[in-house]
Structure 1
Amino acid sequence: MLHIRLLGDFSLTYRDETVTGINTPRLHSLFAYLLLHRAAPQLRQHVAFVFWPETSEAQARNNLRQVLHQLRYALPDSDRFLHVDARTVGWRSDATFFLDVDEFERALALADTAERADDKRAALERAADLYRADLLPSCYDEWISAERDRLRQRHRQALVRLVDLLEARRDYAQAIHHAQRLVRDEPVDEDAYCRLMRLLALNGDRTGAMRAYQSCVANLQRELEAEPSRTTRELYEGLLRMESRPMRVAARQPATETTPPLVGRGREWERLQAAWLQAVEGSPGFVLVTGEAGIGKSRLAEELLSWADGQSITVARTRSYAAEGQLSLAPAADWLRSDVLRKNLAKLDPVWRTEVSRILPELVSEYPELPPHEPMTEYGQRQRFFEALARAVLAAPQPLLLLIDDLQWCDQETLE
């Protein structure tokens, strides 16, 4: 079997032995051209013009004749692979061989059609492994540029898909590995840097995330004389805010009877992750988990809370009960009494703490100077009360994850 590798440095083996005779850039280029254009025989005249456009036709055809002779001499059993006659030259349609470019595109096709996430991941990882580097990077012939760019873009798209898939599965180490490849291959791609920064932070390496930002700044300045975009700066500023908080890395604990492993919820988990990422990027969101009793809704929510707590994300949770159905804003009061939110109420101006004391009456004892709140008899007073609740919640460190379990028992005011 003839094994051909064109992604990265040219490599050719035949019957497990390295072929060393095809050893010049011109031979590499012509060999690759015939192989990648094997769908139809190529006219000698056309090939000669492609490779020697600035010489006379006679000289170009003579050059082609000499290089073809060298190629046929250096390639073992060349007649099994090359077809050459007076008018055309090409790769034989009945030739048997392995080509990494073909395998790369075949892996991408499998990823496109795979229904199972595991199959999609395997196909994308196969494509990533095959793409050692760009198509014949040492070849500077004009014909190869478009094909090289096409394959490079397909590779980057595959890496992005793979990184997102791995992130959704919380396999951050592997996601980081492929995100680093994205950055390494294109040092001015801000989207790639943002992915890498976020993944490093999720994996508990905030220092590494900030180093990635500094590399992004340096490369943009050196290559483009440009500054990072607003999105990239905001992500970095978020990391700085998180840096001031104690780091908690959630270790994976063995499953127990009280914390069963999350099984069969890969798609739902990916949707939760996607919603959370949108929120972190500046689009506050609401997710409703619905379904029949006993199918694992609370277990899915617990998994998200556990994951978020391990990343030092501010988390507050509450539960509604049937008996509380008429107790106004009970879930909001539970949130505000949680340790992570309660300690930040001191940051509020007294006018807002006064409004919050409507559902947290203990604040009146803690802050005797608070003026008494007035009865809510007007629409404007009601709006001010809800603004106070929003300020109290948003005083907590961001990003923030709030959970209400058993929402069906929640009071109407909380729902509104």
Structure 2
Amino acid sequence: MNSAKSSVYLYLLGRFEILREGRNLRADEWPRRKAAALIKYLGIQKRLVKDQAIDLFWPESDFDSGANNLYRTLHDLRQTLNKSLGEDTSDLLFKFEDGVLSLNESVWVDALEFEHLCSTLTKNQDVRIASLEEALALYEGDLLPDDLYAEWTLTQRESLRRQHRDASLVLSALYRDTRQYNRIFPLISPLLIYDKADEPVHRELMRAYALAGRRHDALRQYQTCVEALASELDLAPEPETSALYTQILNGELTSSPSRSTKVEKGTWSVADRLQPSRFLVGRNVEFEALSTSLLSVQQSKGRTILIAGDQGVGKTLLAGEVLCAAAGAGMMTLSGTVHEQEGQLPYQPFIEAFDHYLVQHGQAPGENPITHFRGSGDPQQNQLGLFNAAAAFLIELASQAPVVLFIDDLHAADETSMHLFHYLARQTHAAQVVLLAACRADWTGSATTLLSSLLNALYRERLSETVNLSPLDEDAAAQIVNQT
């Protein structure tokens, strides 16, 4: 619908208002609610048969009484329109012929224009962006917010809301393709007001933050997504979301052109020191300590490092900084997370880490040494064989380049994962492999005894070192807030 050819404008999104030649009629200026309701309905459906109007607006009246009510309401409608907006406004807005009430084609309706712009198909990226921007500018709020419980508005309101969400995500992807990352955040963040657990929206924000160089915010968005899914739906993130999180955690999603991930044996080189990002705040001492430990693997000296601290202190974010810097320095990085909501699944964080690595490097999932291990009938021999296969997988990778394997939330892992972690710490001690894990110092879950046993064993055998995190001071916390 071309607004240039219209003289009457009907607004239904976020408000109810009619404009004509500089004069306007707002929702609170209607003396008869039923008269306003007729125009609202026509703005949505464009057409209303007499019998339908009676059933819809006067359901308790018989046909004759309902018809009289309709005629009186139409009279009031014409009077209100012509008095407020000028003579003949009612004729420009609608007509009632042969028992059919219809909206004139020349009337411009914001909801209809919104749908038209959203459906515009073109291969021209600039034109598509402009159309979607114009459409979303029209969407000032949900359809007829003063009529939330009117049944005849429900279906169309939900349809328009879905179109608004979908158009926002399409425009976000176009902004991402054209590297206009800062335009994405105010565009799609409000969508989470309607649905806190909208996973595609969370993923799009994660991508945008990562590509904009705000990896701290990308990782925090993932945690927000996890919490929303758990509280709203009692679900864990989809595999696509977890894979994206791992990609961001490993520093593999940046705005710069991606480099080849294939490394030939003997061709790797590692930088002299790891470089933190500018978003690292208040953790420089811990970062340097971790960097020194990671770089020591170049002398074929494996390390097992635990990052310990209370919940929310920033263990995962610090590990993310280290992984990103390690990847940038030429190391291979793998990471898996213990998902507490999924229960204690055997070997789950290691399976996740190996699967993500194989997918990201274009290798077959069948090469996962855990999920595709084939043993004999002896359970003990099977476990030992599986442990050997996992260790051999890491050692083989380390022959190409130093490897960092990160396990997040180790404190909540199952017993088999704890045993495998201990085994890998022993078997990779002479290889270029760093086992990095984050665990809660205040953990009181069912796995407390398992974690204590693991930590005691690693300490006795002098296989591990611990970096303890305390809460950030007020200045550092304020600096993080200012970055967001």
TM-score range, shorter chain: 0.5 to 0.7
Asked if residue 102 in structure 1 is aligned to residue 35 in structure 2, the reply is: no
Could you tell me which residue of structure 1 aligns to residue 155 of structure 2? 146
Q: CA deviation at 1:233?
A: 7.1
Taking the aligned partners of 1:60 and 1:44, their CA distance within structure 2 comes to 10
**Residue in 1 aligned with 2:266?**
333
Distance of 2:167 and 2:109 partners within structure 1: 19
Say if 1:193 and 1:387 are closer, same or farther in 2 by CA, change over 3 A.
closer
Confirm or deny: 8 A CA contact 1:190 1:228 kept in the other structure: no
Aligned length: 283
Q: Which residue of structure 2 lines up, in the alignment, with residue 164 of structure 1?
A: 173
Counterparts of 1:64 and 1:394, CA distance in 2:
80
The yes-or-no answer on 1:185 pairing with 2:138 is: no
For residues 337 and 217 of structure 1, the distance between their equivalents in structure 2, rounded to whole angstroms, comes to: 34
Instruction: Indicate which of 174, 198, 211 corresponds to 1:202.
Output: 211
TM superposition shift of 1:24: 6.3
Aligned 1:7-406 pairs, distance under 5 A: 7-20=13-26, 21-22=29-30, 26-38=34-46, 42-76=48-82, 77-85=89-97, 87-93=99-105, 96-110=106-120, 112=121, 114-139=122-147, 140-213=149-222, 215-216=224-225, 219-220=228-229, 224=232, 226-231=234-239, 234=242, 238=246, 241=249, 303-305=256-258, 331-336=264-269, 343=295, 345-346=297-298, 388-391=395-398, 392-393=400-401, 395-396=403-404
- The change in CA–CA distance for 1:214 and 1:92 in structure 2 (over 3 A counts) is same
Distance in 1, Cα, partners of 2:299 & 2:64: 85
The equivalent of 2:474 in structure 1 is none
Give the match's secondary structure for 1:79: helix
> Which amino acid is the alignment partner of residue 121 of structure 1?
I
Tell whether the 8 Å contact from 1:12 to 1:19 is kept in structure 2 after alignment. yes
Structure 1 position 42, deviation (Å): 3.1
Q: Is the 8 A contact 1:7 1:100 kept in 2?
A: yes
How many angstroms apart in 1 are the aligned matches of 2:67 and 2:224? 49
Judge conservation of contact 2:229–2:236 (CA < 8 Å) in 1.
Answer: yes
Q: Secondary structure of the residue that 1:138 maps to in structure 2?
A: helix
Work out whether residues 13 and 140 of structure 2, in 8 Å CA contact, stay in contact via their aligned partners in 1. yes
Deviation track 1:117-155 (CA, whole Å, cap 9, x = no partner) reads: 111111111111111122112212212222222222222
CA distance in 2, matches of 1:181, 1:132: 12
CA–CA distance in 1 between the matches of 2:220 and 2:196?
14
- The residue aligned with 1:284 is none
**Structure 2 counterpart of 1:141, which letter?**
A
CA distance in 2 between partners of 1:67 and 1:3 (Å): 21
Deviations 1:49-107 (A, max 9, x none): 122334443443343333322221111321222213573322234xx332212221221
Q: Say whether the 8 Å CA contact 2:229–2:235 is kept in structure 1.
A: yes
Contact 1:6–1:100 (8 Å) recurs in 2 = yes
User: More relative contact order in 1 or in 2 (CA 8 Å, sep 6+)?
Assistant: 2
Contact 1:51 1:141 in 2 (8 A): no
Shift, 1:216, TM fit: 4.0
Alpha carbons 1:108, 1:158 under 8 Å: kept: yes
Deviation at residue 172 of structure 1 after TM alignment: 0.8
Assess, with a 3 A threshold, how the Cα gap between structure 1 residues 217 and 24 changes in structure 2: closer, same or farther.
farther
Identical counterparts, % of pairs: 25
> Can you give the 5+ residue segments of structure 1 that lack an aligned partner in the other structure?
246-275, 281-301, 306-314, 319-328, 351-383, 399-416
| Contact 1:4 1:98 (C-alpha < 8 Å) held by counterparts | yes
Name the amino acid aligned to 2:12.
L
Gaps of 5+ in 2: 1-6, 83-88, 275-293, 303-390, 407-484
> Using a 3 Å threshold, how does the CA distance of structure 1 residues 340 and 387 change in structure 2: closer, same or farther?
farther
TM-score by length of 2: 0.50
Tell me: CA distance 1:241–1:83, structure 2 relative to 1, closer, same or farther (3 Å): closer
8 Å contact kept, 2:96–2:102: yes
Return the alpha-carbon distance in structure 2 between the equivalents of residues 233 and 334 of structure 1.
Answer: 33
Cα distance in 2 between the residues matched to 1:63 and 1:221 = 51
* Deviation string, structure 1 residues 169-220 (Cα, Å, up to 9, x no partner): 2211112222213223332312212221332233233443455445445555
Say if 1:25 and 1:138, in contact at 8 Å, map to a contact too: no
Aligned residue identity for 2:126: D
